[in-house]
Amino acid sequence: MPLTAVLLEESVPMYAALLAVAVVGLLATLLGRYSSSGRIREMREQNIRLQTRLDEEQRQTVEKIELLNQSREELRQQFRMLATDVLNEKSRRLSDHNQATISQILQPLQEKISGFEKRVEEAYNREARERFALEKEIRQLHQLNTQISEDAVNLTRALRGEQKTQGVWGEFILSSVLQASGLVEGREYQIQQSFHDTSEDTGSRLRSQPDVVVQLPDNRQIIIDAKVSLTAYERFCSADDDPARDLALKQHVQSVRTHVRQLSDKRYQNLPGVVSLDFVLLFMPVEPAFSLALQQDHELFNHAFDRNIVLVSPSTLLATLRTIQNIWRYEYQSRNAQEIARQAGALYDKFVGFVEDIDDLGRKLDASQRSYEGVINKLQTGKGNLIGRTEKLKKLGARASKKLNEDRLAQDNDDE
């Protein structure tokens, strides 16, 4: 309640009492001075006038008191509405601030979740495309093998008797099979890679250069070397009688055995720096020549395998390389899955930390709210609050150059 209103409310009864005492004293004085009936009548009239004036003053005083009470109630309602508006505004600002803070925290998490979802979707789509493409590639495999065999037969006459030319042509066919396998040169295989070794007999330094080194997961390799046996095979195909054909066939098988022995002596599987399988692939680029040799000599394959050599043709080599390519594909997918799992774990750890921060923020906000309410209670509510005490000091004469906010004073008066 404003100080002026309080002083008015306290001074009105006092004023009325003093006025009544003054009237009574005046009447006594007048009665003492005059005793005649005329004077008495005059004083009675004067008394009536004074009584009328006193009644009017009392009526006006009552009206003023009612007006003051009404004004105080209106002020109290206005202060209460103002306090509610202030509290609502502070709550709105606090809510906006919290919303902005949470948005800043959630934004990086949302970006990581979006990136994680994108990578998972890309991995799934890539695997689906590769799965559908595999069927098409298998259909092309038969066509490619047929074409290679036909080309090889057509070239036998042109390559007859030229061993160097036959070797170059064999390497060309091997390169074509590698390209058709889906493997990438320089990543899954290397051509004409040089290795250095020491001779066990002489101790001299030797240089080895296999045709192809195919990489496997876990840092392992398979070595492929192309060997062409066309001279005897061409004589077999062009022979006019059985004796000539039988002789050419024996020479063809012997040529293959010679290639097996020569390749076995090179011991490519034991080269320094190579973690190879225990065998080397001997590639025969002419499919019919390969099949004819195995049909004539049933022990030829085992003979080669005992010397750590595996005989392969374009079809069997392509199937082997396709298998290796699929192994690499699953290896890359596994690496991607491991990376996704690692990032998912890191994302989960980040999310757990975020939830813990949110919980900690909630606890701190609750504690801050309780502390704020406690301070407000001590400041302006309850008997003996700080605002009430300081205002009493000011009323008692304490000098001050500043004044408390009217809202605080109104709240203090409401709680008294």
Last residue of a domain, one of 40, 70, 100: 70
Per-residue tokens: 72: 């105080």
Residues facing 220 on adjacent strands: 216
42 and 123 co-located in one domain: no
3-state secondary structure (DSSP) of residue 56 = helix
Q: Are residues 172 and 266 in the same domain?
A: yes
Average of pLDDT values for 315-331? 89
- Asked whether the predicted pLDDT for residue 85 surpasses 90, the reply is no
Q: What is the pLDDT, as a whole number, of residue 8? A: 46
| pLDDT tens-digit readout, 112-164 | 777 777 777 777 777 777 777 777 777 777 777 777 767 666 665 555 556 66
Is residue 81 a part of any domain in this protein? no
Asked whether residue 65 falls in the same domain as residue 124, the answer is no
Single out the residue of 298, 235, 225, 233 nearest to residue 266, CA to CA.
225
- Residues 184-189: what's their mean pLDDT? 88
Give me the residues paired with residue 312 across strands.
283
Residues 31 and 152 in one domain: no
Quickly tell me which residue has 């004469």 as its tokens.
397
Same domain, 184 and 45: no
Does residue 340 surpass a pLDDT of 50?
Answer: yes
- Whether the CB-CB separation of 332 and 217 falls below 8 Å is answered with no
In tens, the pLDDT along 231-267 reads 888 888 888 888 888 898 899 889 899 999 998 888 8
Residue with tokens 């040529």: 255
386 lies in some domain: no
What confidence score (pLDDT) does residue 395 get? 73
For 377-404, the pLDDT digits (tens) are 766 676 666 667 777 776 776 666 777 6
Quick one: pLDDT at residue 283?
92
Q: Which domain holds residue 54?
A: 1-70
Instruction: Read off the pLDDT band of 168 (50, 70, 90).
Output: confident
How far, in Å, CA of 309 to CA of 286, rounded? 18
Give the pair of three-digit tokens for residue 146: 């047929």
Number of domains in the chain: 2
Q: What are the tens digits of pLDDT across the range 38-80?
A: 777 777 788 788 888 888 888 888 887 887 778 777 777 776 7
CB atoms within 10 A of CB 411: 20
* 202 and 131 within one domain: yes
* Domain stops at, among 345, 360, 376: 345
Q: Is residue 414 part of a domain?
A: no
Model pTM? 0.47
For residue 209, is it within any domain?
yes
What token pair was written down for 304? 């080669």
Of residues 416 and 208, the one with the higher pLDDT is 208
Alpha-carbon distances, residue 356 vs 99, 185, 266 (angstroms): 17, 50, 65
